[in-house]
Amino acid sequence: MSIMKIERKRGEGMSNEGFDVIVVGAGVAGNVAAYLLGREGLQVLLIERGNYPGSKNMTGGRIYSHSLEKIMPDFAKEAPIERKITREKVFMMTEKSSIGLDFQSSLLGTHGSDSYSVLRGVFDQWLAEKAEEVGVEIVTGICVDDLIIRQGKVCGVIAGIDQIESGVTILADGINSLLAQKAGLRKEFKPSHVAVGVKELIELPAELIQERFQCNENEGTACMFAGFPSDGRIGGGFLYTNKESISLGVVCTLSDLIKGQKALPQLMEDFKTHPTVAPLIKEGKLVEYSGHLVPEGGVEMMPKIIGDGVLVVGDAAGFCVNLGYAVRGMDFAIASGECAARAVSKAYQGGGYSEGDLQVYRDYLEESFVLHDMKLYRNFPKFLETTPRVFSDYPKLLEGIMTDMFVMNGQPTQALVKTIMKHINKVGVLKITRDAWKGVRSV
Amino acid sequence: MSTMNVDAKLSLNKFYVNEEYAHIVLNRNAETESSEFRKLMLACPAGLYKQDDKGRILFDYAGCLECGTCRILCGKTILEKWEFPQGTFGIEYRWG
């Protein structure tokens, strides 16, 4: 349906001045903002450039449920989620080895603090249906090219020859948000603040996944890998179990990836053939190959998120935290969508959408975990950037210790402490202590 | 190291290629700024930035995953433009 048709549809019996709210982008942030405002009775138009909500969206794989749970209690019973994650694995990996931590616990599946593997092409469609049910108008296949800006105030959107007015516009158009740039809210993100992820979706029968990952039906595992997947550079590998597939991928910080020797598609291929990974995906069938950017710069990269008649949410605002063992983007996106909806609703009641009227958006973000956590982990991206040893020397150090501990070849062995110190001294006790201290303080 | 053909992987994806309109265009400097082009050869997840045997650069927007990596890295150096494909065109993730 074109925007013009939407206009005509609205023309019957309604004011023809456009919508109260236009949301650009039907990812999780945009859908949630639209849903909440539609539920409040505002006239909301949600515009998606793909042929259906989710068709341009991609995730590594896991949503922490808490923020959506607050908005749609028990959503996981109805939504097309894949598996509940009840097992967490973190690995240091070298070319030949992997040394892992395995945490399996019923505490991971507790209602309200559980997490699920998801596939966005499916999940976002469901979320958009929820928005549609409360009266949100959704148009797909329309790319918003520009914003209508009058005297510095965003007054709607421009798509091709169509212009459509709104009281306020919510930019949920993803990490590349060209619209936030056009609104003068942000400059280009730096390569050190952005990571690129590549993912293969590999089909496997559900029973085989349950056997290989030792999990119950509908339950699954999340695995993170540091070291080898990114060829010793800043980044890592990930694996999430879905119902009948595995999401396997590699993420690398752009500024560091371009200093290396291996191209990202090759890193992905080598990760697949690693002795730890290959048996997990054996006989699997690749069905989709995807790529996406991840905002990883924390508050340092945050653009201006409030303007006259405009708010920025989700990836477009850089809301994401990657701690290596846990990657959080969707729960931040959803909470930011909620904060934006609350702010717009309040401004609507107050009668205006000036930059001042919309300042409550920031207050709501400050009160929620979104800005709190973004600030708490503000030094972590810098820590990784300045401590490349995490991805290179430390996996090798652990491999060395483990090899001396577990490989018996008939040679006289040394005392364990001596063995460990031998490997630690290769990197340097001081360096390790300093890195550990820096690391602990940054999280 | 296993040999890898990213084109074969991309062929599994669903694309609606707009044959009439390129949403990413390289500028003239792309030929000469080899250090810039090399960044894209390393970082493009779809491996769309290539060099042939004679070192000539090759690029085809058809397999683009619309991630924005090239825009962030070289938007101001060797890209003439980077836009989203027009509505309905480009990658369509069935699973994502």
Do strands A84-93 and A98-104 pair parallel, antiparallel, or not at all (unpaired)?
Answer: antiparallel
Residues near A75 by beta carbon (within 8 Å), at least 6 away in sequence:
A65, A68, A69
Per-residue pLDDT of A193-218, as tens digits, reads 999 999 999 999 999 999 999 999 99
Judge whether A1 is closer than 8 Å to chain B, CB to CB: no
Do strands A310-312 and A306-307 pair parallel, antiparallel, or not at all (unpaired)?
Answer: antiparallel
3-state secondary structure of A351: coil
What was the pLDDT predicted at A15? Answer: 42
The residue-averaged pLDDT of A414-439 equals: 89
The residue-averaged pLDDT of A248-259 equals: 97
By C-alpha distance, which of A258, A381, A409 is closest to B39?
A: A258
The tokens for A401 are: 């210790």
What was the pLDDT predicted at A413? Answer: 82
The average confidence (pLDDT) of chain A is 93
Chain B contact set for A258 (CB, 8 A):
38-39, 42-43, 73
Q: How close is the nearest chain A Cα to the Cα of B33, in Å?
A: 15
Does residue A117 register a pLDDT over 90? yes
Which residue from B4, B13, B45 is facing A196, i.e. has the nearest CB? Answer: B45
Which residue from B45, B68, B93 is facing A55, i.e. has the nearest CB? Answer: B93
Among left, alpha and beta (phi > 0; psi -120 to 50; other), residue A345 is: alpha
Q: Any idea which residue has 């935290």 for tokens? A: A321
CA quadruple B89, B91, B93, B94: dihedral sign: positive
| Domain A3-58+120-187+303-321+329-376 top-level CATH class | alpha beta
- Contact, A146 vs A182, CB < 8 A? yes
A443 vs A26, A113, A163, A432, CA distance in Å?
Answer: 32, 20, 46, 17
CA distance A78 to A75: 6
Sorted by where each begins, the domain ranges of chain A are 3-58+120-187+303-321+329-376, 382-442
What was the pLDDT predicted at A68? Answer: 98
Half-sphere exposure of A437 (CA within 13 A, CB side): 6
The residue-averaged pLDDT of A4-9 equals: 52
What was the pLDDT predicted at A272? Answer: 97
CA distance A69 to A76: 8
What was the pLDDT predicted at A4? Answer: 54
Chain B contact set for A49 (CB, 8 A):
84, 87
CA distance A194 to A316: 12
CB contact under 8 A, B95 and A287: yes
What ipTM does the predicted assembly reach?
A: 0.96
Provide the H-helix boundaries in A306-407: 330-350, 360-367, 369-376, 380-386, 393-406
Residues near A13 by beta carbon (within 8 Å), at least 6 away in sequence:
none
Sorted by where each begins, the domain ranges of chain B are 15-91
> Rounded to the nearest 5 degrees, what angle is found at the Cα of A167, between the Cα atoms of A165 and A168?
105
By C-alpha distance, which of A323, A318, A434 is closest to A380?
A: A323
CA distance A287 to A202: 6
Residues near B40 by beta carbon (within 8 Å), at least 6 away in sequence:
B49, B69, B70, B73, B74, B78
Does residue A16 register a pLDDT over 60? no
Q: Which residue of A has its CA nearest to B9?
A: A289
Per-residue pLDDT of A76-91, as tens digits, reads 999 999 999 999 999 9
SS3 content of chain A, % helix, strand, coil (to 5): 40, 25, 35
The backbone torsions φ and ψ at residue A262, rounded to the nearest 5 degrees and listed phi first, read -100, 135
Higher pLDDT, A389 or A140: A140
What was the pLDDT predicted at A300? Answer: 87
Rg value, chain B, Cα: 14
| Domain B15-91 top-level CATH class | alpha beta
The tokens for A335 are: 């909470």
What was the pLDDT predicted at A416? Answer: 86
Does residue A173 register a pLDDT over 60? yes
A294 pairs with which residues across the strands? A195
What was the pLDDT predicted at A3? Answer: 57
Per-residue pLDDT of B56-77, as tens digits, reads 999 999 999 999 999 999 999 9
By C-alpha distance, which of A175, A174, A151, A147 is closest to A163?
A: A147
Segments in chain B below pLDDT 70 = 1-4
Chain A contact set for B35 (CB, 8 A):
none
Element containing residue A271 per DSSP (H, E): helix A264-272
What was the pLDDT predicted at A398? Answer: 93
Lowest-confidence segment of A264-278, A329-343, A422-436 by average pLDDT = A422-436
Burial readout A145-176 (b: 16 or more C-beta within 10 A, e: otherwise): bebbbeeebbbbbbbeeeebebbbbbbbbbbb
Residue A12: pLDDT band (50, 70, 90) is very low
Does residue A13 register a pLDDT over 70? no
Does residue A382 register a pLDDT over 80? yes
Half-sphere exposure of B33 (CA within 13 A, CB side): 14
Does residue A1 register a pLDDT over 80? no
Does residue A155 register a pLDDT over 90? yes
DSSP structure class, residue A314: G
The residue-averaged pLDDT of A122-131 equals: 98
Does residue A326 register a pLDDT over 70? yes
Judge whether A301 is closer than 8 Å to chain B, CB to CB: no
What was the pLDDT predicted at A386? Answer: 87
CB contact under 8 A, A263 and B83: no
Per-residue pLDDT of A261-272, as tens digits, reads 999 999 999 999
